Structure 1
Amino acid sequence: EKPHKCPKCNKGFRWCSDLIKHQRTHTGEKPFICKALQMQCKGFSDLSALAQQQRTHTGKKPYVCSQCGKCFKQSAHTSRKQRVHTGEKPFMCAECGKCFHNKTHLKQH
C-alpha cells in the first residue's frame, strides 16, 4: 500500500519521507550542501546522496563484501558484488528469461 500521494503527479509512496524526497524532483530543491563543493553550489535533494558524495572526497568505503573483503562506497555496490559470488541473478528478462546479477546488465540486454 502506498498511501502518501504526490499532489503534482499522483505517484504513491509507502513512507511520507519518500514523498518529501520525491517532491523535490518537482521543485528542484536541494537543501543538503556538500561543504567540499560549496564553492560550486552543488546541492543534494536527500541526505543519502550527500553522504555518498562526501565519501568521494574522503575516500571512505564503509561497505565490505563478506565474501572477498573488497570495500565499496555504496551498499548497493556491495550487494551487487556479493551476488557475483553467490551466483544469484535476480533480474530476469521478461522476453527471453535470461537472468542477470544487476539491473544495469538487464537494461543493456
Structure 2
Amino acid sequence: MDPICNGKHTVVHNREKPYAYGHCESSYTNQNDLGTHLRLHSQVGSGICELCDKSFPTSSRLDRHMRSHTRTNNSTCDKCGKAISSAGNLKKHLRIHTRERPYICKYCGRAFSLSNNLKKHMRTHTGERPYACENYGKPFSSSSNRASHMRALHKDTTLL
C-alpha cells in the first residue's frame, strides 16, 4: 500500500461507502458525512431560509445559502439575458432553453433537468418521507412541505 494512503483513504479509491443510514439509500465514505446527512433527516441545526423555505442542517450551510440571495451575478445567459450567479448555475439554466433533461426516473421514465428534482420525484415512488414534524413526528417528503406545516400549525415553534 502507498504510505501516503492509509486505510481510511483507500475507502475513497475503492469507492466504498461503509457508513449508511438505514432509513434511506444514502451511504458515505466517512462518518462525518453520514453525520451531516443524519442532521438533514432530523433537521438539527439552524433551520429554514426565510426567503425560500429551504431547510439546512447547520448554521454554516444556511449562511452560505443566504449569500446566494444577495450574491452579485457573474454570468449572463446569452439566450434570455438573465443574470446568473455562477458558471455552474448558468449550465443548469441553459437546460431551460435546450430542453435538456438528463436525469431520468428509473420507475416511470419521467425526465428532469436538475438532479435534485429527480431526487424529490423519486419519493413519489419510494414513499420516502425524510422530513418529520418536530412536534408530532408526521413525515413529509420535502422540507418545504414540512416548513409549511410548521408555519401553519406550530407558529411559535422553531426548528432546532
Q: Which runs of 5+ in 1 are unaligned?
A: 2-10, 14-18
* Of 50-59 and 71-80, the range deviating more from structure 2: 50-59
Q: Among residues 62, 72, 76, which one is paired with 1:33 in the alignment? A: 76
User: Which residue in 1 is equivalent to 2:100?
Assistant: 60
Q: Determine if contact 1:64/1:71 at 8 Å carries over to the other structure.
A: yes
1:1-109 matches, cutoff 5 A: 12=60, 26=70, 28-38=71-81, 42-109=82-149
Q: Deviations over 1:1-37 (max 9, x none)?
A: 9xxxxxxxxx746xxxxx6x976755x4211211102
Do the aligned partners of residues 80 and 43 (structure 1) sit closer, same or farther apart at CA in structure 2, a change above 3 Å counting? same
**How far did 1:49 drift?**
2.2
Higher RCO, 1 vs 2 (CA within 8 Å, ≥6 residues apart) = 2
Q: Determine if contact 1:30/1:46 at 8 Å carries over to the other structure.
A: yes
Q: Which has the larger radius of gyration?
A: 2
RMSD, matched Cα: 2.5
Q: Determine if contact 1:61/1:72 at 8 Å carries over to the other structure.
A: yes
Do the aligned partners of residues 83 and 24 (structure 1) sit closer, same or farther apart at CA in structure 2, a change above 3 Å counting? closer
- Superposition TM-score, scaled by structure 2 size: 0.48
Q: Deviations over 1:49-80 (max 9, x none)?
A: 21222111111111111111110111111001
User: Which residue in 1 is equivalent to 2:16?
Assistant: none
Q: Which runs of 5+ in 2 are unaligned?
A: 1-31, 33-58, 150-160
State percent identity of aligned pairs: 28
SS of 1:55's equivalent? helix
